[in-house]
Amino acid sequence: MQLAICCHSYRDPQTKLFGRSPAGENSTGEGRYGKNYYGFIGNIQELNLKKNIKTVIDIILSVGKVQKKFDEIPDYNLEFKPLWNMDEKTAGGYRQGKKQIQSL
């Protein structure tokens, strides 16, 4: 119980925080808690990091323009890599199921 409270306050699953082996019905470790963790980290990236990184990049580009390293500030799009991806077998099953549904 105390471990669960500790994990909840850090918003980190027990498998990651304490290095415990997953147990229960979904013993892959990528169940509800893992996906919630990745969602939490993704929100931090989008809500906190993205704005701050964009500000730093804008400052660097502005200094480069003032120092005449380039004529105009280039447009850019800041994106983070996904934290969780399906493995090839799961992705193939998903695509096959999607095709079967579309063919109905």
Q: Are 37 and 11 in contact (CB under 8 A)?
A: yes
Taking Cα atoms as reference points, which of 27, 2, 41 lies closest to residue 15?
Answer: 27
Report which of 88, 57, 102 is spatially closest to residue 75, judged by C-alpha positions. Answer: 57
Backbone CA torsion sign across 91, 12, 50, 43: positive
- pLDDT tens digits, residue range 61-103? 999 999 988 888 889 998 888 777 767 777 777 778 878 888 7
Question: What local confidence, expressed as pLDDT, does residue 31 receive?
Answer: 53
Residue 16's closest CA among 44, 38, 1? Answer: 38
